[in-house]
Amino acid sequence: MLIRNKKVLFLFLFLTAVSNNLLFGDLRIGLLSLDNPLSLTVNICEGRYRMMIDGHYIIVNQDDNILINRAGSKILITTLGNNTILADSVILEPYEDDFFFSIRNNLTEGDQKEYYGKLIVKSDIQSLLVINEVNEDCYLAGVVQAEAGFKGSIEYFKTQTLLARTYLYMYINRHREDGYNLCDRTHCQAYHGKSQVKVIREAVNETRGQVLTSQDSILVFTPFHSNCGGQTQSSENVWLRRTAHLLGVTDPYCAYSRNARWMRKLRISEWILYLTEHGYTHHKYDDLAFEQLSRKQNYSAGSFSYPLTRIREDLKLKSTFFSVKLVDNNVILEGRGYGHGVGLCQEGAKVMAQRGFKMKEIIGFYFQGLQIMDINDVRQTMEINSAF
């Protein structure tokens, strides 16, 4: 859930009146990262699957390939032996939970990805609609690997799992009108299929059912980012809304991590042109210098002021936490951190876990006043707050 665009609106849908059996049930995840596929190849990587095509069943075995092409409002399925079937939909269902398959978009570059659970494919308006029906634990393990990486200690991955599970239950019906619960992009949570990391699967298992709530037992929005540069942001500086548990904190743990520092060089003429397009009237070069020892909301040059979030977005910078220095005929942007800076700093949390901090301590450092609860004990409410 790394939020890369501040224009993305995160509706606070406190939908905690969820079915208790969903905790161990299946989720429907739209595989939008396949990028509007028209032709797919599915490979059975392990085990046996039952392939249901318009009410008829075919058994497919390990190493079998299935070609699926869009054919207008229907799909064309080609199986081993070049048997071709025109159908409305196809469902692949494993005989055992630990069986898995891979899927590849034949018309784009990219590696094939592996998935547990069922595969559902049918024709959509302009492409194939592809859905992975998978149990919650497998889904969360895949999300944590995609969002938090492959390396880290179990307390770090337990922390990320809590954030991912909380998000899952807050937005569990975000794509209901599309025929699935969530998508696999950062619009929801990044999900690249099955996790290959044992410690991540252990983290999911050890935190099963646990979510983060406010003191009145309501699910909360718990964002994260790669590196805060030594100080996290308060939510109102990014999304114009103050939230009690999303206050900025000084973070000494991420200072020497990979994304702690960055630099961008521009010609002074380019910088002045950019500022002029947004209302700046140039008077003297000294006004252009700008320093951030702690996070600010706006860049200022003389009487001119402009939101740092806009500059970050326009220039595709790693963060808003940067200073401006003049060197010869250039402007040097010396930056700290990577991401929006609100909530949990991943690189800081990883260092905290390495130093022996537990999941609860890491969460308490980055979020104020939250509690860990079982999803079945969360207050049921349909309140919708204004968006971030």
Q: Which helix (H) or strand (E) holds 12?
A: strand 12-13
Tokens describing residue 84: 């071709």
- Distance separating alpha carbons of residues 318 and 187, to the nearest angstrom: 19
Rounded CA separation 256/253 (Å): 8
Rounded CA separation 211/219 (Å):
7
The answer to whether the beta carbons of residues 209 and 178 sit under 8 Å apart is no
pLDDT at 8: 35
Cβ neighbours for 274, distance < 8 A, ≥ 6 positions apart: 314, 315
Domain ranges of the chain: 28-134, 261-336
pLDDT digits (tens), the chain, 388 positions: 554 443 333 333 333 334 333 444 699 999 999 999 999 999 999 999 999 998 889 999 999 999 999 999 999 999 877 789 999 999 999 999 999 999 999 999 888 999 999 999 999 999 999 999 999 999 999 999 999 999 999 999 999 999 999 999 999 999 999 999 999 999 999 999 999 999 999 999 999 999 999 999 999 999 999 999 999 999 998 888 899 999 999 999 999 999 999 999 999 999 999 999 999 998 889 999 999 998 999 999 999 999 999 999 999 999 999 999 999 999 999 999 999 999 999 999 999 999 999 999 999 999 999 999 999 999 976 543 333 3
CATH number belonging to the domain at 28-134, selected among 1.10.3470, 3.40.50, 1.10.10, 2.60.200 = 2.60.200
Type of residue numbered 254:
C
Q: What are phi and psi of 196, to 5 degrees?
A: -105, 5
Measured CA to CA, the distance from residue 77 to residue 63 in angstroms comes to 17
Q: What is the pLDDT of residue 12?
A: 35
CB 213 within 8 A of CB 220: yes
Amino acid 55: pLDDT: 85
For residue 1, what pLDDT is reported? 56
Q: What pTM was estimated for this model as a whole? A: 0.88
Helix (H) or strand (E) holding 330: strand 330-336
Tokens read off for 10: 């995160």
Contact yes or no for 39/51 (Cβ under 8 A): no
Specify the pLDDT at position 316: 97
- Residue 230 to residue 201: CA distance in whole angstroms: 30
Q: What is residue 282's predicted lDDT score, i.e. its pLDDT?
A: 86
Nearest to 278 by CA among 305, 240, 318: 305
Distance of alpha carbon 128 from alpha carbon 336, whole angstroms: 42
User: How far is the C-alpha of 132 from the C-alpha of 193, rounded, in Å?
Assistant: 9
Q: What DSSP element (H or E) covers 122?
A: strand 118-123
